[in-house]
Amino acid sequence: MILRAFVVFALAFGVEAAGVSFRHEVLPVLTRQGCNAGTCHGSPSGKGGFALSLMAFDAEADYLALSRDLQGRRVDTFDPDLSLILRKPSNGLSHRGGLKLPRKGRSYQILREWIAAGCPDDAEGFSTVESIEVTPDGAPVLTFPEKTQALRVRARFTDGKSRDITHLVKFSSSDEAIAGVSMDGLVTARKRGQVAIMARFLEHVVSRHFTFVQPVAGFRWNNPPVANYVDTHVHAKLRQMQFLPSGLCTDGEFARRAHLDVIGRLPTLEETRIFLSDKRPDKRARLVDALLGRPEFAPFWAQKWGDLLRLTPGAVSKAGTHKFNQWLVQSFRDNIPYDRFARELLTASGSTFRHPPANYFRTASDMSDALETTAQIFLGSRLACAKCHNHPFERWTQDNYYGLGAVFNRVQRKPGARPEEMFILTGRSGEVTQPRTGQVMKPWLPGQGYVDVPVGTDRRRVFAEWLTAKDNTWFAKVEANRLWAAVMGRGIVEPVDDFRDSNPPVNPALLDALAADFAKHQFDRKHLLRVILNSRAYQASARPTEFNAEDDRLFSHYRPHLLTAEQLLDAVVQVTGVPEAFPNLPSGTRATALPSPQLNNAFLKVFGQPSRSSACACERPQEAQLGQALELLNGKFLHGRLGQKNNRIDQLLAAGKGDDAIVADLYMAALCRMPTDEERKLALGHIAQSKDRRAALGDICWSVLNLNEFLFQH
C-alpha cells in the first residue's frame, strides 16, 4: 500500500527519481533507439496507435503518451518488465520494428528504472542542457591502416555541471559507404573519403568532419601548374586524398564549355574557328572576358534566378512576369553587386508593376513561404520541416523557425488599382506565436539570437542588413557555391541549397577562399566567375585518369553535366539552322532568354524545364532520362528540323559543299571539333551507300545530335 501510494503521488506530482531523468535520459534513449524517428512512432500519425514527437521535440506530449495514454497501460510501475514500451522493442511481444531494446542493454535499464521509480517528469526546477561537446574536436584526418576513432560526448548544463552522455547520444554518418558509426560512437572507415558524423542529444546537434586517407600504390604528386588560388586549394585536397588532376581540355572543348556556361549557347562556327586559330597564350582568358561582356550573359543568368524566384505568369501575372524578368536582366547587365541585389529583393515594397522586386513577396505569398524561400535561397537552408518540429538533421529548432517568421509576418499584400497589380506593404503590428508553446516570438537572426527591433522599423531591413554584412560568411558562401556549381556541374556543398553541419563542403578551404574573395570584391559575381573560369580546375579535361577515376566530388577532372532544356533546344536550333518561335515573344528569342516556362512546348517539358513551383534547384533533372532519349531518337522536334527545307544541310548543299566538308561542318557546329578518322570514314561510307544524299546527310546530323558529347557539357 505504501509503494502504491508513492507511485500515485509520483505520477500525479512529477517527483524526480534519483539518477533517472525523463527529459535527459528517457527521451534521448528513445531517440537513440530510433523509436521516435520519422519511420517509426515519430511519424505524424505514429505507428500501431502509439505516436511520439519526432526526435523528442515535444517533451510534454511524449510524457503524456508514455505515462497517461491508454490509461497508462504502456508502463507498469508495479512490474516494469511487463511494460509494453519494454516488452515490444525487446521482442517480448510481437514488434513490427524488430529488436530495438536488448534486455541486457543500458538503454533498457534506463527505461526500466524510470518506470520502477513511478515514471516521474522533471519538467520544472531542474537544470537544462546548454550545449554538447564532442571529442576529439576539429576535423580529424586518419590514414589507413588507422581507420577507427571513438567519439565521446559531454553535456554542459545551466547549473554549470557537465557529464558524459555518450551512451545517450544518437550518432549517424552522412555517407555510410565511406564510414559508419556504431551506437556507442565508434567511427570506422570503409574507404578513403570525407564524411560528417553527427551526434544528436535532444535539440542539440554537433558534427565532426572526418577525412580518411588510403595510400594508393604508385601515387606520386606531380606538382601540376596553378592558375590561381582555386587550383591551390583544389590541388591541396587532391594531394591529401591521393588523386592526381587531369590535364587541360582541348581548345575546342573549352570554347564549347565556356560559351554554354557563360552565355548559355554554343559558339557559332565562325567563333569556334577564330578561337581555334588564335595562337596567343592568353586566348582563354580573353574569351572569358569577352563572354562575360556579351549581351546574352544577362538574360541567361536572369533565367537561372527566374527559376529560384518562381517567376511565372500564374504567380506574378503576365505583365509582372515580363517586368520582373526585365529587372533581373538589367541587374545582371549592370552587374549589380549581390548584396544590393539581395537587399532590393528582401526589402521591396510598393506596386509589383512599378517596382518589380516587390514580386518577391507575391510569389512568397505568406509568412511561412517567405521565410522558407529566403532561407533556402540566401542561407542555403531547407527549413520547411522545422515548421512542425525541430529539424531532424540540423540545429534549426521550431523556435528558430517562428523567430525567423517574425521577420516576415508583417508583410502585407493588397490588390492595386490596375488588373493583376499588387501592392507590398509593411504593417506596424502583427506578432508570431509559437504554436506549440504559445510564446510570442521576437525576430531571430542566425548566430545572433532574438533581437529587439525599434517600433516603426521594417524588420525585413534589419534582417537584410545582417544577411548582407561582409562578415556574414554564410551569405557569401551560399552564392559562391551556387556560382561554382553553375559552371562546374557540382557544388562544393551539394545540393547547393542544403548547407548544414551534417552535409559539409567537400573542400572547406576552397569555399572559404571563394567567399572571402567574393566579399572583398564587393560581391561582384562576374569577378568570381572570372576567377573560376580561369582556373585549371575549370579547364581540366573531363577524361579521368588512373589516379582520379574514383573521384566524383573533389574536381580532379571536369564533371560532365546535362545541358538544360533551354540550352539543348537552342543547340538543336543552331546546328540544324531551323529557328523556334515562342508564342507572344519576339522572333529570334532564344530559349535561354525565356522569361517564364513555356508550358506548351513538349521538347522543353521532356528535357526538364522546371514549372517553377518551388525555390529548390532540384526541379531541374541532373541525369538523362529515358523519355529524353526517345524524344531525340524519334521525336517530332528533331526530325521535323532535319526534314525542314532550307535547313543547314540544304544551305551547305546549295553552296556546293562536298560530303567531307558537310560532315566536318556538322561536327564542328555541334561539338566544336572535327570528326575523328573513324567517324569520317563511317559517315562518308553511309552517304556513299545511300540513294538519297540529302537524307543520308540528315542521318549523319541526327547521329551527331544523339551523341552524349552533344547532350552533355564536357
The pLDDT tens digits of the residues spanning 375-429 come to 999 999 888 776 776 666 667 788 888 999 999 999 999 998 899 999 999 998 9
The pTM score is 0.91
Torsion of Cα atoms, 381 then 387 then 389 then 391, to 10°: 0
pLDDT digits (tens, 9 = 90+) for 48-75: 778 888 888 888 888 888 888 776 778 8
User: Where do the domains of the chain lie?
Assistant: 2-116, 129-213, 297-467, 565-607+624-713
pLDDT digits (tens, 9 = 90+) for 250-292: 999 999 999 999 999 999 999 999 999 999 999 999 999 999 9
HSE-CB for 112 with a 13 A CA cutoff: 17
DSSP 29: H
Strand ranges for 547-693 from DSSP E: 561-562
Asked whether the CA dihedral 68, 73, 79, 82 is positive or negative, the reply is negative
Q: What is the pLDDT of residue 102?
A: 86
What are the residues facing 351 on neighbouring strands? 423
Cell of 285: 582568358
Q: What is the pLDDT of residue 389?
A: 63
- Mean pLDDT of the 630-648 span: 92
pLDDT digits (tens, 9 = 90+) for 558-568: 999 999 999 99
> How far is it, in rounded angstroms, from Cα 460 to Cα 96?
48
Percentage of the chain surpassing pLDDT 90? 71
Residue 8: band (very low, low, confident or very high) from pLDDT cuts 50, 70, 90:
very low
Average pLDDT, the chain: 91
Contacts 24+ apart (CB under 8 A), 644-652: 644/576, 644/578, 646/577, 647/576, 647/577, 647/578, 648/575, 648/576, 648/577, 648/701, 649/694, 649/697, 649/698, 649/701, 650/694, 651/577
Residue 614: band (very low, low, confident or very high) from pLDDT cuts 50, 70, 90:
confident
- Mean pLDDT of the 534-551 span: 96
Q: What is the pLDDT of residue 229?
A: 98
User: Which class for 121: exposed (0-12), middle (13-18), buried (19 or more C-beta within 10 A)?
Assistant: buried
Residue 164: band (very low, low, confident or very high) from pLDDT cuts 50, 70, 90:
very high
Cell of 214: 588510403
Among 141, 138, 146, 151, which Cα is nearest to 211's? 141
Q: Which residue has the higher pLDDT, 482 or 620?
A: 482
Pairing status of strand 561-562 against strand 449-450:
unpaired
Q: List phi, psi (to 5°) of 529.
A: -60, -40
Q: What is the pLDDT of residue 69?
A: 77
Q: Decide if pLDDT at 228 tops 60.
A: yes
- Mean pLDDT of the 549-565 span: 95
- Mean pLDDT of the 667-676 span: 98
pLDDT digits (tens, 9 = 90+) for 488-505: 999 999 999 999 888 999
Give 390-442 as a DSSP string: --TTSS--HHHHHHHHHHHTTEEEEE-SSTT-EEEEE-S---EE-TTT-PEEP
**How far is Cα of residue 549 from the mean position of the Cα atoms in its chain?**
24
**How far is Cα of residue 438 from the mean position of the Cα atoms in its chain?**
33
> How far is it, in rounded angstroms, from Cα 396 to Cα 376?
13
Contact in structure between 174 and 198 (CB atoms under 8 Å):
yes
Q: What is the pLDDT of residue 148?
A: 96
Q: Decide if pLDDT at 528 tops 60.
A: yes
Q: Decide if pLDDT at 348 tops 60.
A: yes
Q: Decide if pLDDT at 641 tops 90.
A: yes
Residue 4: band (very low, low, confident or very high) from pLDDT cuts 50, 70, 90:
very low
Among 57, 155, 39, 173, which Cα is nearest to 502's? 173
Q: Decide if pLDDT at 374 tops 60.
A: yes
Q: What is the pLDDT of residue 3?
A: 36
Instruction: List the CATH code of the domain at 129-213.
Output: 2.60.40.1080
- Least confidently predicted of 200-204, 390-394, 648-652: 390-394
Q: What is the pLDDT of residue 53?
A: 82
Contact in structure between 515 and 507 (CB atoms under 8 Å):
no
